[in-house]
Amino acid sequence: MENPIENYWKNRLAELKDALTENNFEVFVADNTDEAKSMVLEKIIPEIAPKSVSWGGSLTFVATGLYDVLKNSNDFNILDTYDKTLSPEESLERRRQSLLVDLYITGSNAVTETGQLVNLDMFGNRVGALTFGPKNVIIFVGRNKIVPDLDEAMFRIKNYAAPVNTMRLDKKTPCAKTSFCADCKSPDRICNIWTITEKSFPKKRIKIILINKDLGF
């Protein structure tokens, strides 16, 4: 067989798409970040015609280049939660406002093979938007986020994604120094709110773009 690795991931993503679709998510598969960005700009946004757009923390979203396209767009009311010029109070208020937009964009910490989204958040705005509020949600997911089940999802998040993110954000937590979760009580702790999204309700409110690349943490 030629290109066995390519064939392997093609099969894995196709099976995951079926599982997620069964759980009422609308699912797309992209070969790369450019294709993922095009799917949003050329298909999803024209179909849902949002007037307001915002996003939650996601390196995968940034990697697609979509953030750079949207942040200065005049076609929508943009609530940029990444704006570094905001004070802490203004940033928190921006996050609160983002929960009522027409389109919210973010990533997922893990996705199970049975079609569940698993996330762990510090403030709760990202998982809050995923749960309720925005009319539509787009989730970008790199293939490295796929895990067999809920136990593996939680292990991955607590023992890899969270420590790496604390390092990226320069948080003062034990895992930022040791790489291991200590179930800490640090004020900088980012592991505060778990969500498991079993199904999209209403159907297709949550749109998932699976990307055939390793992206994010």
Neighbours of 191 (CB within 10 A): 21
Bridge partners, residue 14, by sequence: none
SS percent in the chain: helix, strand, coil, step 5: 40, 20, 35
Stretch 121-148: mean pLDDT, rounded? Answer: 97
What integer pLDDT is reported at residue 189 of this predicted model? 97
- In angstroms, the CA 31 to CA 20 distance is 18
Q: What is the mean pLDDT of the chain?
A: 97
Q: Which amino acid is at 112?
A: T
For residue 77, the model assigns a pLDDT of 98
- Counting residues of the chain whose pLDDT is more than 90, the rounded percentage is 98
Give the strand pairing for 52-55 and 77-79. Answer: parallel
> Mean per-residue pLDDT for 201-215?
98
Domain at 4-145+195-211: CATH code: 3.40.50
Tokens of 213: 């690349």
How many DSSP H helices and E strands does the chain contain? 10, 10
β-strands 103-107, 52-55: how paired?
Answer: parallel
Given pLDDT bands bounded at 50, 70 and 90, which one contains residue 1? confident
Q: pTM for the complete prediction?
A: 0.96
Asked whether residue 109 carries a pLDDT value surpassing 90, the answer given is yes
Q: In what order do the strands lie in the sheet containing 77-79?
A: 26-30, 206-211, 136-142, 103-107, 52-55, 77-79
Domain boundaries, the chain: 4-145+195-211
Does position 2 have pLDDT exceeding 90, yes or no? Answer: no
How many angstroms separate the Cα of 83 from the Cα of each of 86, 90, 103, 159, 212?
6, 10, 18, 29, 29
Is residue 203 pLDDT above 90, yes or no?
yes
The predicted-structure confidence for 32-50, as pLDDT tens digits, reads as follows 999 999 999 999 999 999 9
The mean per-residue pLDDT over the stretch 94-106 comes to: 98
